[in-house]
Amino acid sequence: MKINVEVDCTPEEARRVMGLPDFTPVHEKYIQGVLGAMDGAVAPEMIENMMKSWSPMGEAGMNFWRKMFDTSTK
C-alpha cells in the first residue's frame, strides 16, 4: 500500500507546525554584518569571530570547513 500526502504551506507555516524557532532577526543581523563587511564598515575578523562562535566545535569546525573548501577549489 502506498499513501501520498501533499501539504501546501509556506516555509513559515511549516516552521511553526514543527515548533522550530524563528531565526529571522538573527538572519537579518547576520546579513547586515556581511553587507557591512562588503562595504568595508565591518572588519573581516569580526565576521570570522562571529562565524566561529556559531560553528559546531568552534575553531576545529571552522578549520574543517576551511580545509574542505580549499581542497574543493584546487
d(CA 64, CA 58): 10
Phi/psi at 10 (nearest 5 deg)?
A: -80, 165
CA end-to-end distance (rounded Å), the chain:
49
What pTM, to 2 d.p., does this model score? 0.40
Q: What is the pLDDT of residue 3?
A: 95
d(CA 66, CA 43): 19
Q: What is the pLDDT of residue 39?
A: 75
| Mean pLDDT in residue range 6-29 | 90
d(CA 35, CA 33): 5
| pLDDT surpasses 70 at 74 | no
Over residues 26-67, the pLDDT tens digits come to 889 888 887 877 777 667 677 777 777 776 666 777 777 778
Could you tell me the residue ranges of all domains in the chain?
10-42, 43-74
